[in-house]
């Protein structure tokens, strides 16, 4: 899946993006792994964020023309709503995110953010506007404070500490030998998967975007870590529009709307309770995960 090929002019673009904003180092890493297939229309304006509404209208997409990946996907995430996408591996969940960040353009259909077609705004403003908690978080050999500040390098200390609190990192940091100044990364303290995800949450919060996208890591978390992350997501969802790509259904139970994606199509949708009543794929996944939980807690 990873694209090694990075054209030189694209590296130039990435450099300008980084120099210009450093707004989201995570997105930059994702960018480096993508081919530059997309260009802005001439004089494309900035995306104007207001409430943070997302709308997908009849989106279809293929990487290679003989193999459709997404087929006629439509859904809305209203301001301050939490919408979750679940589905088996290969269903097309990450592809949907790639389209939202405009690493690719849909083969047909439109994606609107606050009523603006993402094809009609410039890509830097689009990516700056979306807070993302990626599956894999890159940590640098710097203090935990600096690692978090990568979300927005000109953030005030107050904003950084607020993000730390909202990401439920306070207790963890209080226990570190040098608190926020503790060195982390390859040559410093190794963080667990759950701690890394909370650093990613704090980084994303610093962007102060009304939209937060959470691409849940597939790796399992211990129950204490999972609880902290769930609490952080719940708090953030109160004040943000949230789109969650979920692997653990515990993350989606309280979502306003859940989409079940299989082979590029939405096969079921509704709230957790409605989907359990439907007794289809979601209910099946739920009972599998409940059984697994019971086994691990034994
Ligand atoms: P997972 O839960 O395992 O991350 P997913 O639901 O996110 O899976 P996608 O990564 O969106 O699924 O992949 C959907 C399909 O698209 C898969 O069959 C995958 O092999 C294919 N695919 C993904 N990226 C590319 C690419 N760059 N070129 C060609 N095919 C791709």
Q: Going by CA atoms, what residue is nearest to atom 20 of ligand 1?
A: 90
Q: Tens digit of pLDDT for each residue in 105-151?
A: 999 999 999 999 999 999 999 988 899 999 888 899 999 999 999 99
pTM: 0.85
Shortest-distance atom of ligand 1 to CA 218: 2
| 93 confidence band (pLDDT: 50, 70, 90) | very high
CA-CA distance, 230 to 281, in Å (whole number)?
Answer: 23
Does 69 or 24 have the greater pLDDT score?
69
| 224 confidence band (pLDDT: 50, 70, 90) | confident
Examine the pLDDT at 237 and tell me if it is beyond 80: yes
DSSP state letter for 44: P
Ligand 1 midpoint to CA 91 (Å): 7
The arithmetic mean of pLDDT across residues 250-262, rounded, is: 94
Could you tell me if the CB of 65 is within 6 A of ligand 1?
A: no
For the chain, where are the alpha helices, taking DSSP H only? 8-20, 25-32, 93-100, 123-129, 144-149, 157-166, 170-174, 193-206, 223-239, 272-278, 281-297
Shortest-distance atom of ligand 1 to CA 91: 6
| 8 confidence band (pLDDT: 50, 70, 90) | very low
**Residue 208 and residue 154 in contact, taking contact as beta carbons nearer than 8 Å:** no
The arithmetic mean of pLDDT across residues 32-51, rounded, is: 82
pLDDT of the residue at 9: 39
Q: What is the mean pLDDT of the chain?
A: 86
- ipTM score for this prediction: 0.97
Share of the chain above pLDDT 70, in %: 87
User: In which region does residue 43 sit, left (phi positive, over 0), alpha (psi from -120 to 50) or beta (all else)?
Assistant: left
Examine the pLDDT at 257 and tell me if it is beyond 70: yes
Does 65 or 69 have the greater pLDDT score?
69
Could you tell me if the CB of 89 is within 6 A of ligand 1?
A: yes
Ligand 1 midpoint to CA 94 (Å): 7
Share of the chain above pLDDT 90, in %: 65
Q: Tens digit of pLDDT for each residue in 150-165?
A: 999 899 999 999 999 9
Q: Tens digit of pLDDT for each residue in 9-40?
A: 344 444 444 443 444 545 555 555 555 578 89
The arithmetic mean of pLDDT across residues 215-242, rounded, is: 86
pLDDT of the residue at 136: 86
Ligand 1 midpoint to CA 95 (Å): 6
How many Cα atoms occupy the beta-carbon half-sphere of 251 within 13 Å?
Answer: 25
Cβ neighbourhood burial of 22 (10 Å; 0-12, 13-18, 19+): middle
pLDDT of the residue at 100: 96
């Amino acid at each position: 899946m990873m694209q090694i090929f990075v054209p030189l002019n694209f590296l130039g673009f990435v450099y300008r993006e980084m120099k210009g904003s450093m707004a989201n180092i995570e997105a930059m890493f994702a960018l480096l792994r993508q081919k530059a297939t997309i260009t802005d229309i001439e004089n494309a304006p900035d995306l104007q964020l207001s409430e943070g509404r997302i709308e997908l209208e009849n989106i279809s997409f293929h990487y290679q023309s003989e193999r459709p990946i997404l087929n006629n996907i439509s859904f809305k995430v209203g301001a301050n709503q939490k919408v979750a996408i679940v589905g088996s591996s290969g269903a097309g969940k990450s592809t949907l995110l790639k389209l939202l960040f405009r690493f690719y353009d849909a083969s047909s259909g439109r994606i609107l953010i606050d009523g603006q077609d993402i094809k009609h705004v410039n890509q830097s403003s689009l990516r700056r506007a979306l807070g993302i908690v990626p599956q894999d978080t890159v940590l640098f050999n710097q203090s935990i404070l600096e690692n978090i500040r990568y979300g927005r390098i000109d953030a005030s200390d107050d904003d950084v500490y607020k993000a730390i609190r909202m990401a439920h990192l306070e207790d963890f940091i209080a226990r570190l030998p040098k608190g926020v100044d503790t060195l982390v990364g390859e040559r410093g303290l190794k963080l667990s998967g759950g701690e890394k995800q909370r650093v990613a949450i704090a980084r994303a919060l610093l962007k102060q975007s009304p939209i937060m996208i959470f691409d849940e890591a597939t790796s399992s978390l211990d129950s204490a870590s999972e609880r902290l992350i769930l609490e952080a997501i719940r708090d953030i969802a109160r004040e943000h529009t949230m789109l969650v790509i979920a692997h653990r259904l515990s993350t989606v139970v309280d979502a306003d709307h859940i989409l079940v994606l299989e082979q590029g199509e939405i096969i079921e949708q509704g709230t957790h309770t409605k989907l359990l009543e439907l007794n289809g794929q979601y209910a099946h996944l739920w009972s599998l995960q409940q059984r697994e939980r019971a086994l691990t807690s034994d």
